[in-house]
């Protein structure tokens, strides 16, 4: 097979492949920075929990209006915000820690969402909700994903300094400013809306993968936060491209293929990563010479 047939023909000949590629790249631009800040704030599992938390709302939107883009989006956002608020309330008025409270709510949300979808739809609908249909992205969905990514980048640009300070020295931020609390709330809202955007392409179970795996990969190669964000976005976009090609040529589902490629990139980074990779730790002399 020549390079054109391998790399270019799938996108040149099929519009659904081009739409999937555009959607995945745009998702990477929004999810990449969010994933980096979640990782640096030691909130990586929060992303996974919130990805499950949006499911009941999306399922209720599905039950009311079927596979309607705006109904499922609105339901997912409301459910995600509600779970985040309830988690904070429970953690503050009871002895239960926030991580345990979040775990309880996300497990309840996942079970409730699957039950609602199963009552209304078929197994195909359930698979669509859980694993997404990146090859079926249409214009309204692409516009929604692009709008969410644009809002995310604009808000992150305004909150960049307090977010970085909170990652590096939260005590100092609290001593010089009261912006920590509001910044955290806005950031959690960005997490929710980006997971909702990813939900339409990759489903509930895989949306968080495009958010966290590229961020984890970047941690092994660069140290500067800005460089991590750029590296994470690039990794997500490249994994989307390779995953779609693997899906096309091997006949496997596109969403899982994209996340599997990102997972392979993560494993390679664990072994060969420039900062903290196993190879560098086994051969420190070569590391010092580099």
Residue 177: phi and psi, rounded to 5, are -155, 155
- 67 or 54: which carries more pLDDT confidence? 54
Q: 225-250 and 180-219 are packed helices; what angle lies between their axes, rounded to 10 degrees? A: 60
DSSP character string of 8-57: IHHHHH-HHHHHHHHHHHHHHHHHHHHHHHHHHTT-HHHHHHHHHHTHHH
Percent of the chain with pLDDT over 90: 41
Residue 257 near residue 243 (C-beta atoms within 8 A):
yes
Token pair 């909130």: residue = 43
- 33 or 61: which carries more pLDDT confidence? 33
* Pick from 48-52, 154-158, 193-197, 278-282: least confident: 48-52
Residue 262 near residue 207 (C-beta atoms within 8 A):
no
Residue 255 near residue 129 (C-beta atoms within 8 A):
no
Residue 244 near residue 20 (C-beta atoms within 8 A):
yes
Domain 3-205, CATH number (from 1.10.3470.10, 1.10.760.10, 3.40.50.620, 3.40.980.10): 1.10.3470.10
Average of per-residue pLDDT across 172-185: 72
Please return the burial class of 201, using the count of CB atoms within 10 Å of its CB with bins 0-12, 13-18 and 19+. Answer: buried
- Domain locations in the chain? 3-205
pLDDT bucket at 172, cuts 50 / 70 / 90: low
* Pick from 66-70, 74-78, 210-214: least confident: 66-70
Q: What is the mean pLDDT of the chain?
A: 86
Give the pLDDT confidence score for residue 287 in this predicted structure: 47
Separation between Cα atoms, residue 141 and residue 227, nearest integer Å: 29
pLDDT bucket at 170, cuts 50 / 70 / 90: low
Give the pLDDT confidence score for residue 173 in this predicted structure: 67
pLDDT bucket at 20, cuts 50 / 70 / 90: very high
Residue 72 near residue 66 (C-beta atoms within 8 A):
no
Separation between Cα atoms, residue 247 and residue 12, nearest integer Å: 16
Please return the burial class of 288, using the count of CB atoms within 10 Å of its CB with bins 0-12, 13-18 and 19+. Answer: exposed
Does the pLDDT at position 290 exceed 50?
no
Distances (CA, A) of 122 to 57, 62, 139, 197: 18, 12, 25, 23
pLDDT bucket at 87, cuts 50 / 70 / 90: confident
- 131 or 153: which carries more pLDDT confidence? 153
Please work out, in degrees rounded to the nearest 5, the angle formed at the alpha carbon of residue 268 by the alpha carbons of 263 and 271.
130
């Amino acid at each position: 097979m020549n390079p054109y047939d391998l790399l270019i023909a799938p996108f040149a000949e099929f519009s659904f492949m081009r739409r999937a590629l555009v959607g995945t790249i745009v998702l990477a631009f929004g999810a990449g920075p969010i994933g980096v800040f979640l990782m640096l704030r030691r909130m990586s599992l929060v992303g996974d929990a919130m990805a499950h938390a949006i499911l009941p709302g999306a399922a209720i939107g599905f039950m009311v209006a079927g596979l309607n883009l705006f109904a499922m989006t609105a339901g997912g956002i409301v459910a995600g915000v509600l779970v985040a608020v309830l988690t904070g309330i429970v953690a503050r008025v009871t002895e239960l820690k926030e991580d345990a409270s979040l775990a309880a709510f996300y497990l309840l949300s996942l079970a409730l969402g699957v039950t609602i979808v199963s009552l209304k739809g078929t197994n195909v609908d359930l698979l669509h909700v859980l694993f997404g249909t990146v090859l079926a992205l249409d214009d309204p969905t692409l516009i929604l994903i692009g709008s969410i990514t644009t809002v995310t980048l604009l808000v992150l640009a305004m909150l960049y300094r307090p977010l970085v300070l909170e990652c590096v020295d939260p005590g100092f931020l609290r001593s010089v400013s009261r912006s920590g609390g509001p910044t955290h709330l806005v950031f959690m809202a960005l997490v929710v809306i980006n997971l909702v955007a990813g939900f339409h392409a990759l489903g509930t179970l895989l949306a968080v993968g495009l958010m966290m795996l590229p961020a984890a990969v970047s941690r092994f190669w660069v140290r500067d936060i800005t460089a991590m964000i750029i590296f994470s976005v690039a990794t997500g976009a490249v994994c989307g491209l390779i995953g779609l090609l693997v899906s096309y040529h091997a006949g496997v589902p596109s969403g899982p293929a994209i996340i599997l490629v990102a997972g392979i990139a993560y494993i390679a980074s664990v072994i060969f990563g420039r900062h903290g990779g196993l190879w560098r730790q086994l051969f420190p002399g070569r590391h010092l010479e580099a």
